[in-house]
Amino acid sequence: MTKNAFVTGATGFIGINLVHLLVEKGWKVTALHRPTSDLSYLKKLPVNLAVGSVTDFNSLSEAIPDDSEVVFHLAGDTNMWSQRNKRQAEINVDGTENMIRAAAQKDVQTFIHTSSVRPGAMFRER
């Protein structure tokens, strides 16, 4: 039985390796990417490409296929420059909240989140 996965961060180092492994194991994969992403590696694999951004909830709602069983949320900003902390929080915190909401809306049963952050970069007042 084929499993259906939706992957964010699929154009990054970890993401492309995960997508490659999933495809190798027979999964049907939909990979989220920004319009400006380098798709040269993903285009070599039998995956569905979906344009969107974790910071745009509506694009996620449209991008996640209805039959998705697992979301692998790997997208993130690992920038180390403190002047970009606000943008990093938008992507890593708000973007993850958007992904959780969109996955729940699509009734995805499994949500796997991979994160990397330096101490203090993600905390901000709400």
- Over residues 62-74, the mean pLDDT reads 95
pTM: 0.86
pLDDT averaged over every residue in the chain: 87
Which among 90, 91, 51 has a CA at the least distance from the CA of 73? 91
Q: Count other Cβ atoms within 10 Å, centred on residue 58.
A: 11
Looking at CATH, the fold of the domain delimited by 4-113 is given as Rossmann fold (3.40.50)
Domain-by-domain residue ranges, the chain?
4-113
pLDDT for 98 beyond 90: yes
**Alpha-carbon span 99 to 110, nearest angstrom:** 12
For 29, the 3-state DSSP assignment is: strand
Predicted confidence band of residue 28 (pLDDT cuts 50, 70, 90): very high
Q: How far apart are CA 58 and CA 30, in angstroms?
A: 17
For residue 119, pLDDT over 50 is answered with no
